[in-house]
């Protein structure tokens, strides 16, 4: 029977036109009387694509019979039966069922060679595609994949590794968060890595650094990749150190810098040190410096000394201070115009804060000096903010901080209630923001210890927190905790914030339990709000590590303060990750939680989480801008401001702009702040609405019937637009595209300004200088030109405001007396008669010239007549028209080092002379870039340093009067 069935099958398959009408063989599969051997032969025949292509629709009717064979344990060819069922389901385009039976059969991931009509490759590729998609979905949902599916995926991975398709396997590992798969792909690389392997490793690092992955998974992948990447012939050490910052591996970062110096690559080590100072926390930098102390002193001690200076922040602070002072473009006329429109204490306070933001880092306090009598009107907390604003103005001027603030610091006893002294302590902290060295921290600790008044303790706490941002100092945390335990409302609020600032990015169970319990126990809502902001700052960047604390806080159903605290912690823990799951959780709270603070912070949290992806943020928040709840609308405006800061995004502006006319005053304020963040450093070329918005701000400030809250927001918005002398912009990420701790923490504290005006100063932490500073191997600024491949007006400063005096001159009309009017009328009549006489004479002259054929004299006469007609007489009260400045139409322009280069401009910048310097990183990164001299024989010129002038205020008791100039008196003159 066996040979008889085999003969029939061969004859059927070889008939002209191919096999058809398979009903006889299908009956063999269906009949229980058919032998097992016959069924096996028929199954194998149908598994051949040459047969199945013409007969699959007939076999489909017999699928139940074939599937029954799979249940018979004694049947010898179950894999063939399963494979046939899988192929038929493939032909029926039921791919999930096809995969199900392929897993039960002997599925081969390598397709059979094509023969005749059949094409096994289409079937194999579709099954692989379905298997991979199923594996991804199950991995993302946290469902364990079946053993058979895992084995199939392993076969697919092995096939790709045999074909050297390493990036495909790594990508699959990322999509399924499968660390062993990534490790297997990297270990499959050859011992001698080529350029393609190095590119693959760099792409892997970029993917894991920029992707929305769990923190622990990210750390493990980075550590795995770097071990192999270091074996490359020319690894990017800057990229490696960026990864060390993400994994908090300070010791390896220190070893990398030491190794570069030992290999005479000092300039590269300087660049890494600058990048570390920009991106790492104070605690990380302290561990790097301690690691240097444990190592043997390198041969090049001078280079190591420069690295120490960079990591301590001295070189960065000096370079940025020079840039801010050199390029200061603050509009003093605008400030005076705002001052003239101020009538309330809140607006007075807002202008002092706004002036500090506008002059951030410029050391220019002319507005305060020129308006001492106006500034002296500040009382109580306004006085506190007036003095604190000096900290923004003189930010970075650490050497002369005590000299600047000496008139306001406490002497033997505190004057009044201590508002002035408290403001001075906050100012001292702002000068040392994110850069609190041992001297500054000990000074602030001493003031904190000896403070007797609540405003003084308030200022000392905030100053201590902002100077020690991210230091994770246990001793500093304990000093602030003593203030919290005094159970005072105002100082308790600042202590809660300061504790979070010090522990930023380093929240642990002990800190959380302590602050949570204090939130429950205290009766002061101000203290509760301060702890909320503090815990949010401490949760920055922790992602999944913060989940236990977040779940506990959000789960407090009877305590809305704890729920809002949990929402703030959730936003900061996942800030910049773009996690859709976190966004879903925030939206759920917006919809279901009855507390207004929870709704507002949940909406704002979307902006934090999606700060790296403005377009996605727009799609989520667009509907919330028209929400019936004012707090949600305010949150939507601020979320768009955070996510689209400095982009000039027209879609975001279109959503926020109508909210300027909202019925709620606080929503109008939020809209103004949001638009100022979005339009910062924009021009008419990049954002056509920016000039109209500037005029609208002035109109809001000057309107008598406008809400004082809106006026306050408009004045602060003006400060944000021109922050840093129009040379800085608020940005949530650093030059590497990673969420920046200072920016995120500063923005969270700025949002606390809803409750306490002094917190608006903290937005300066998010201000990044828009500069490009090239330094040489001696960390000096050389004379150098850049070429910007764009019109100079595209990225120019906004036009200065017109002074009120100039406006008034244009409006003046000369008053004319009646007798003067009569005389003028007579003069006009006489002039008209004289004009007619001259015209008649000119016409007669022309006629005579025509008769004598003297065209030349006729032309001259006509020209003279035309000149007489065009003559203008100056009239009183009508100023002469000034020529409008000619517009620059050149496609390129030059900039001098150090240059103002805004983020949108960076991709258009090149060095004018490529033979002069070789930069250590691309110019589009911006900031401080170390460079090597290419032609060392050429004479190098350095940029002259700008020395910031520091003088004591006129009210200072230490200011000595200058002696008068010598003079002589001659008595005979009298």
Residue 899, in any domain of the structure: yes
Q: Is the dihedral of CA 174, 176, 181, 185 positive or negative?
A: negative
In 883-907, which positions are buried (b, 16+ CB within 10 angstroms) versus exposed (e)? eeeeeeeeeebebebbbbbbbbbbe
Residue 820, in any domain of the structure: no
Residue 784, in any domain of the structure: yes
Strand duo 917-919 + 927-933: pairing? antiparallel
List the structure tokens of 676. 């100022």
Stretch 191-220: mean pLDDT: 80
Query: Residue 815's pLDDT is what?
Result: 53
Which residues touch 910 (CB under 8 Å, ≥6 apart)? 786, 787, 789, 923
How many whole angstroms separate alpha carbon 591 and alpha carbon 119?
Answer: 53
Q: Which residue has the tokens 């909202």?
A: 662
Query: Residue 215's pLDDT is what?
Result: 79
Residue 789, in any domain of the structure: yes
In 564-590, which positions are buried (b, 16+ CB within 10 angstroms) versus exposed (e)? bbbbbbbbbbbbbbbbeebbebbbebb
What are the strands of the beta sheet with 893-896, ordered from one edge? 893-896, 785-788, 909-911
List the structure tokens of 953. 């205020």
Stretch 274-300: mean pLDDT: 84
Q: Which residue has the tokens 């929400």?
A: 627
Asked whether residue 311 carries a pLDDT value surpassing 70, the answer given is yes
Residue 258 and residue 292 in contact, taking contact as beta carbons nearer than 8 Å: yes
How many whole angstroms separate alpha carbon 186 and alpha carbon 142?
Answer: 25
Of 953 and 178, the one with more pLDDT:
178
- Tally of CB atoms within 10 A around 835: 12
Residue 910, in any domain of the structure: yes
Residue 89, in any domain of the structure: no
Residue 242, in any domain of the structure: no
List the structure tokens of 688. 């056509």
Mean pLDDT of the chain: 83
- List own/partner pairs for 351-355 with CB under 8 A and 24 or more apart: 351/715, 352/378, 352/382, 352/385, 352/386, 352/389, 353/385, 353/389, 353/715, 353/716, 353/719, 353/757, 353/760, 353/761, 354/715, 354/716, 354/718, 354/719, 355/389, 355/393, 355/719
Residue 204 and residue 221 in contact, taking contact as beta carbons nearer than 8 Å: yes
Of 565, 500, 577, give the one whose Cα is nearest residue 538.
500
In 421-459, which positions are buried (b, 16+ CB within 10 angstroms) versus exposed (e)? bbbbbbbbbbbbbbbbeeebbebbbebbeebebbbbbbb
Peptide bond between residue 898 and the one before it cis (omega within 30 degrees of 0): yes
Strands, E assignment, 208-282: none
Of 560 and 966, the one with more pLDDT:
560
Of 572, 605, 429, 602, give the one whose Cα is nearest residue 506.
572
Least confident of 111-120, 619-628, 819-828: 111-120
Which residues sit opposite 894 in a β-bridge? Answer: 787
How many whole angstroms separate alpha carbon 611 and alpha carbon 583?
Answer: 12
Query: Residue 806's pLDDT is what?
Result: 56
Percentage of the residues of the chain whose pLDDT score is greater than 90: 30
**Model confidence pLDDT, tens digit, residues 293-310:** 887 776 678 888 899 999
The band of 864, judged by pLDDT with boundaries at 50, 70 and 90, is very low
Asked whether residue 136 carries a pLDDT value surpassing 50, the answer given is yes
**Model confidence pLDDT, tens digit, residues 483-527:** 998 888 899 999 999 999 999 989 999 999 999 999 999 889 999
* DSSP assignment letter at 941: P
Residue 584, in any domain of the structure: no
Residue 665 and residue 630 in contact, taking contact as beta carbons nearer than 8 Å: no
Which residues sit opposite 927 in a β-bridge? Answer: 772
Q: Which residue has the tokens 């039960």?
A: 104
Stretch 405-416: mean pLDDT: 77
Asked whether residue 222 carries a pLDDT value surpassing 50, the answer given is yes
Asked whether residue 200 carries a pLDDT value surpassing 90, the answer given is no
Of 837 and 356, the one with more pLDDT:
356
Residues in the chain: 974
**Model confidence pLDDT, tens digit, residues 719-758:** 999 999 999 999 999 888 888 999 999 999 999 999 988 9
Residue 423 and residue 382 in contact, taking contact as beta carbons nearer than 8 Å: no
User: Domains in the chain: how many in total?
Assistant: 1
Stretch 214-226: mean pLDDT: 84
Surface-to-core class of residue 862, CB atoms within 10 Å of its CB (0-12 exposed, 13-18 middle, 19+ buried): middle
909: domain range? 770-800+890-949
Of 507, 387, 402, 515, give the one whose Cα is nearest residue 455.
387
The band of 263, judged by pLDDT with boundaries at 50, 70 and 90, is confident
Query: Residue 854's pLDDT is what?
Result: 40
How many whole angstroms separate alpha carbon 741 and alpha carbon 469?
Answer: 9
**Model confidence pLDDT, tens digit, residues 594-643:** 999 999 999 999 999 999 999 999 999 999 999 999 999 999 999 999 99
Total-model pTM: 0.81
Of 20 and 459, the one with more pLDDT:
459
Residue 354 and residue 718 in contact, taking contact as beta carbons nearer than 8 Å: yes
How many whole angstroms separate alpha carbon 269 and alpha carbon 932?
Answer: 12
Stretch 455-464: mean pLDDT: 92
- Backbone angles phi and psi of 816, in degrees to 5: -110, 125
Asked whether residue 873 carries a pLDDT value surpassing 50, the answer given is no
Which residues touch 800 (CB under 8 Å, ≥6 apart)? 331, 333, 334
From the CA atom positions of the chain, what is the Rg in Å? 38
How many whole angstroms separate alpha carbon 409 and alpha carbon 459?
Answer: 11
Quick one: CA torsion of 407, 408, 409, 415, rounded to 10 degrees? 110
């Amino acid at each position: 029977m066996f040979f008889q069935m085999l003969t029939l099958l061969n004859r059927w398959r070889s008939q002209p036109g191919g096999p058809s009408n398979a009903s006889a063989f299908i009956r063999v599969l269906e009949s229980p009387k058919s032998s097992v051997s016959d069924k096996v032969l028929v199954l194998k025949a149908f598994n051949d694509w040459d047969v199945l292509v013409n007969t699959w629709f007939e076999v489909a009717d017999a699928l139940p019979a074939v599937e029954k064979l799979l249940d018979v344990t004694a049947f010898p060819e179950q894999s063939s039966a399963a494979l046939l069922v899988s192929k038929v389901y493939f032909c029926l385009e039921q791919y999930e069922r096809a995969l199900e039976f392929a897993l039960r059969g002997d599925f081969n991931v390598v397709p059979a060679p094509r023969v005749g009509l059949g094409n096994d490759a289409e079937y194999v590729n579709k099954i692989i595609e379905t298997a991979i998609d199923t594996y991804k979905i199950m991995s993302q949902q946290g469902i364990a994949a079946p053993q058979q599916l895992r084995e199939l995926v392993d076969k697919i991975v092995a096939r790709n590794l045999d074909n050297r398709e390493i990036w495909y396997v790594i990508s699959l590992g990322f999509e399924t968060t499968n660390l062993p798969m990534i490790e297997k792909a990297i270990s499959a690389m050859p011992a001698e890595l080529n350029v393609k392997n190095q590119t693959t490793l760099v792409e892997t690092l970029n993917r894991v650094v920029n992707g929305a992955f769990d923190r622990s998974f990210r750390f493990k992948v980075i550590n795995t990749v770097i071990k192999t990447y270091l074996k490359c012939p020319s690894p990017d050490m800057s990229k490696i150190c960026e990864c060390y910052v993400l994994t908090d591996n300070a010791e390896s970062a220190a070893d990398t810098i030491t190794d570069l110096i030992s290999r005479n690559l000092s300039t590269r080590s300087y660049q890494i040190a600058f990048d570390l100072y920009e991106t790492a926390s104070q605690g990380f930098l302290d561990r790097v410096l301690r690691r240097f102390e444990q190592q043997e002193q390198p041969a090049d001690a001078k280079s190591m000394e420069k690295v120490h200076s960079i990591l301590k922040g001295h070189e960065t602070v000096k370079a940025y201070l020079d840039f801010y002072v050199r390029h200061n473009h603050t509009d003093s006329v605008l400030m005076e115009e705002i001052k003239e429109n101020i009538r309330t204490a809140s607006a007075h306070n807002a202008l002092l804060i706004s002036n500090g933001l506008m002059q951030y880092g410029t050391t220019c306090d002319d507005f305060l000096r020129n308006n001492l009598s106006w500034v002296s009107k500040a009382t109580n907390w306004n006085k506190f903010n007036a003095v604190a604003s000096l900290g923004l103005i003189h930010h970075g001027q650490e050497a002369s901080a005590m000299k600047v603030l000496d008139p306001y610091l406490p002497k033997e006893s505190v004057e009044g209630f201590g508002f002035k002294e408290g403001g001075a302590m906050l100012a001292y902290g702002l000068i040392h923001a994110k850069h609190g060295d041992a001297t500054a921290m000990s000074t602030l600790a001493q003031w904190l210890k000896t403070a007797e008044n609540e405003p003084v303790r308030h200022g000392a706490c905030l100053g201590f927190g902002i100077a020690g941002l991210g230091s994770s100092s246990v001793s500093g945390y304990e000093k602030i905790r003593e203030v919290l335990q005094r159970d005072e409302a105002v100082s308790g609020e600042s202590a809660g914030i300061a504790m979070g600032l010090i522990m930023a990015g380093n929240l642990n169970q002990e800190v959380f339990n302590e602050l949570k319990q204090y939130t429950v126990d205290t009766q002061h809502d101000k203290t509760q709000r301060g702890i909320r902001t503090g815990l949010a700052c401490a949760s920055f960047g922790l992602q999944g590590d913060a989940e236990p604390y977040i779940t506990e806080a959000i789960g407090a159903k009877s305590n809305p303060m704890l729920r809002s605290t949990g929402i703030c912690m959730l936003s900061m823990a996942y800030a910049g990750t773009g996690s859709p799951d976190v966004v879903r959780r925030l939206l759920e709270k917006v919809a279901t939680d009855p507390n207004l603070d929870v709704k507002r912070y949940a909406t704002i949290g979307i902006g934090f989480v999606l700060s790296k992806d403005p377009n996605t943020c727009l799609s989520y928040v667009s509907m919330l801008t028209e929400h019936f709840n004012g707090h949600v609308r305010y949150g939507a405006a601020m979320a768009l401001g955070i996510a689209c800061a400095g982009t000039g995004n027209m879609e975001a502006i279109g959503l926020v702009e109508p909210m300027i006319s909202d019925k709620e005053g606080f929503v109008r304020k939020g809209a103004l702040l949001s638009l100022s963040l979005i339009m910062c450093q924009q021009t008419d070329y990049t954002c056509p609405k920016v000039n109209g918005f500037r005029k609208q701000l002035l109109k809001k400030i000057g309107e008598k019937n406008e809400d004082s809250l809106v006026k306050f927001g408009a004045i602060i918005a003006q400060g944000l637009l021109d922050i840093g002398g129009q040379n800085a912009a608020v940005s949530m990420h650093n030059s590497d595209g990673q969420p920046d701790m200072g920016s995120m923490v500063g923005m969270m504290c700025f949002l606390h300004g809803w409750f306490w005006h002094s917190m608006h100063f903290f937005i300066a932490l998010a201000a990044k200088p828009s500069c490009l500073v090239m330094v040489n191997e001696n960390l000096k600024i050389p004379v150098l030109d850049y070429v910007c491949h764009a019109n100079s007006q595209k990225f120019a400063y906004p036009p200065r405001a017109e002074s009120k005096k100039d406006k008034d001159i244009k409006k003046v009309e000369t008053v004319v007396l009646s007798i003067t009017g009569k005389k003028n009328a007579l003069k006009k009549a006489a002039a008209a008669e004289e004009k007619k006489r001259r015209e008649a004479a000119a016409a007669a002259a022309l006629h005579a010239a025509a008769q004598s054929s003297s065209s030349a004299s006729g032309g001259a006469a006509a020209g003279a007549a035309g000149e007489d007609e065009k003559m203008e007489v100056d009239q009183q009260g009508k100023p002469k028209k000034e020529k409008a400045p000619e517009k620059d139409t050149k496609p390129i322009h030059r900039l001098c080092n150090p240059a103002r280069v805004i983020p949108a401009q960076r991709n258009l910048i090149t060095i004018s002379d490529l033979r002069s310097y070789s930069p250590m990183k691309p110019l589009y990164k911006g900031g401080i870039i170390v460079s090597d001299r290419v032609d060392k024989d050429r004479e190098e010129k350095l940029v002259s340093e700008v020395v910031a002038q520091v003088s004591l205020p006129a009210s200072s008791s230490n200011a000595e009067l200058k002696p008068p100039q010598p003079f002589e008196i001659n008595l005979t003159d009298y």
